[in-house]
């Protein structure tokens, strides 16, 4: 049961839900601020710097310190208050703190505490579904931490049982093998992944001993933010500065999907193309993407990761956002939890793709505006 908001006056809202849905976005009536709003508001807490969560035009932003560089690059000179993980502030009696979400650099869950009630809005997050494997986290950011709460607001980008990620070391072994074979044959390996988050995760995970690594300028811009934050990435060359085209033979080139079949990628010479995304799990996704290889690597939790994350909070109530809301809500209710959904405008930035509709999934593949 979702209480979509008709609560306008913050004082009236005291004792009610800590987060409600408004046309502008997720709203905390007690604190009079929004979380990842999609329309301009006065005060916004931003979970991470992906474009569907961090939008232009807000009066004041609050985000994790490590999001600063990417936010400023994307949004310009915004009024930004920064918090470290675990640090808290008090806003109109609501205690606000940020906790690692394991999704991208600076990604945070937002914990709200007011009069003994605790709610957590997780934003996008990555939790491995593989139990007891501490190495199976996103190496390019602080791993997800379960935060105990009464109500947990969760994404559901890959909230279908068909989504089960293999351990990352297996995925990277497959990528390294593909790159090695191409290098031996004198081909370039073009690995497509979104430039903020996925590209850095790929760079951090591959075996840099196989050959030179070349990146697109869009990836390089984000690499700088990651390196500045102390994240170890292998040495890379900027593609536009490679004059000797023979460099591309045997190289791994990491670029955003937009370069596919462009003049930019044609100059790489003979190339094997691969795409790295969670949506590659679905049959036919590789063919629809028109690539030689698909690697299933996601910065979002898979079906079992979502379940693990939810269980880890101990929440009795769960509100599901962007993805497969209907499937998740049904499953949560079967587990005896109180569950509902918020219709949001997230999900148009990165991994969700329109064609990634699985059979029988109502509301699947929602991509936002």
Q: Report the interface residues with Zn ion, using CB under 5 A.
A: 50, 52, 124, 346
What is the spatial distance between Cα 310 and Cα 308, in angstroms, rounded to a whole number?
6
CA–centroid distance for 368 within its chain = 15
Closer by beta carbon to Zn ion, 33 or else 346: 346
Question: Kind of pairing, strands 108-114 and 94-100?
Answer: antiparallel
Q: With contact defined as beta carbons under 8 Å apart, do 317 and 149 qualify?
A: no
Closest approach of Zn ion to the CB of residue 171, in Å: 19
Can you read off the two tokens belonging to residue 82?
A: 């920064």
Question: Kind of pairing, strands 20-22 and 213-215?
Answer: unpaired
Q: With contact defined as beta carbons under 8 Å apart, do 164 and 129 qualify?
A: yes
Closer by beta carbon to Zn ion, 31 or else 278: 278
Closest approach of Zn ion to the CB of residue 47, in Å: 8
Closer by beta carbon to Zn ion, 106 or else 212: 106
CA–centroid distance for 40 within its chain = 22
Closer by beta carbon to Zn ion, 136 or else 345: 345
Can you read off the two tokens belonging to residue 5?
A: 């908001």
What is the spatial distance between Cα 350 and Cα 353, in angstroms, rounded to a whole number?
8
Closest approach of Zn ion to the CB of residue 181, in Å: 32
What is the spatial distance between Cα 287 and Cα 207, in angstroms, rounded to a whole number?
27
Sole residue written with tokens 């990628």: 265
Closer by beta carbon to Zn ion, 50 or else 58: 50
Closest approach of Zn ion to the CB of residue 335, in Å: 25
Closer by beta carbon to Zn ion, 27 or else 38: 38
Buried b / exposed e along 204-222 (16+ C-beta atoms within 10 A): bbbeeebbbbbbbebbbbb
**Partners of residue 117 on adjacent β-strands:** 114
Contacts with 266 (C-beta within 8 Å, 6 or more apart), sequence order: none
Closest approach of Zn ion to the CB of residue 346, in Å: 5
Closest approach of Zn ion to the CB of residue 363, in Å: 16
Closer by beta carbon to Zn ion, 179 or else 303: 303
Sole residue written with tokens 């093998």: 177
Closer by beta carbon to Zn ion, 219 or else 252: 219
What is the spatial distance between Cα 39 and Cα 125, in angstroms, rounded to a whole number?
22
Closest approach of Zn ion to the CB of residue 351, in Å: 8
Closest approach of Zn ion to the CB of residue 52, in Å: 5
Closest approach of Zn ion to the CB of residue 5, in Å: 21
Closer by beta carbon to Zn ion, 54 or else 151: 54
- 306 phi and psi angles, rounded to 5 deg: -60, -45
- DSSP code at position 16: S
Cα 262 to Cα 167, 220, 255, distances in angstroms: 33, 19, 12
């Amino acid at each position: 049961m979702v209480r979509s908001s008709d609560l306008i006056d913050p004082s009236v809202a005291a004792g009610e839900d800590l987060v409600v849905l408004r046309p502008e976005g997720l709203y905390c009536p007690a604190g009079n601020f929004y979380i990842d709003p999609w329309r301009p508001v006065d005060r916004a807490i931003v979970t991470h710097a992906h474009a569907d969560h961090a939008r232009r035009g807000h009066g004041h932003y609050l985000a994790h310190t490590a999001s600063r560089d990417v936010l400023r690059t994307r949004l310009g000179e915004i009024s930004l208050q920064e918090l470290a993980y675990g640090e808290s502030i008090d806003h109109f009696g609501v205690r606000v703190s940020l906790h690692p979400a394991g999704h991208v650099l600076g990604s945070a869950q937002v914990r709200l505490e007011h009069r003994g009630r605790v709610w957590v809005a997780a934003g996008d997050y990555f939790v491995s579904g593989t139990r007891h494997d501490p190495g199976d986290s996103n190496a390019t950011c602080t791993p997800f931490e379960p935060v105990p709460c009464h109500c947990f607001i969760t994404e559901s980008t890959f909230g279908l049982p068909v989504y089960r990620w293999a351990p990352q070391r297996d995925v990277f072994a497959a990528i390294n093998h593909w790159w090695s074979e191409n290098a031996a044959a004198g081909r370039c390996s073009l690995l497509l992944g979104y430039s903020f988050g996925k590209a850095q995760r790929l760079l951090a995970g591959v075996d840099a001993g196989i050959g030179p690594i070349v990146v697109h300028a869009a990836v390089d811009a984000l690499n700088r933010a990651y390196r500045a934050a102390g994240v170890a990435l292998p040495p890379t060359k900027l593609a536009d500065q490679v004059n000797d085209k023979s460099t591309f033979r045997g190289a791994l080139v990491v670029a955003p999907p937009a370069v596919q079949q462009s003049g930019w990628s044609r100059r790489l010479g003979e190339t094997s193309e691969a795409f790295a995304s969670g949506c590659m799990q679905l049959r036919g996704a590789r063919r629809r993407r028109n690539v030689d290889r698909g690697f299933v690597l996601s910065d979002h939790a898979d079906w079992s990761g979502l379940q693990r994350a939810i269980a880890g909070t101990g929440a009795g109530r769960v509100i599901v956002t962007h993805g497969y809301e209907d499937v998740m809500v049904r499953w949560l209710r079967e587990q005896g939890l109180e569950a509902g959904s918020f219709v949001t405008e997230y999900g148009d930035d990165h991994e969700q793709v329109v064609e990634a509709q699985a059979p029988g999934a109502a509301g699947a593949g929602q991509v936002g505006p």
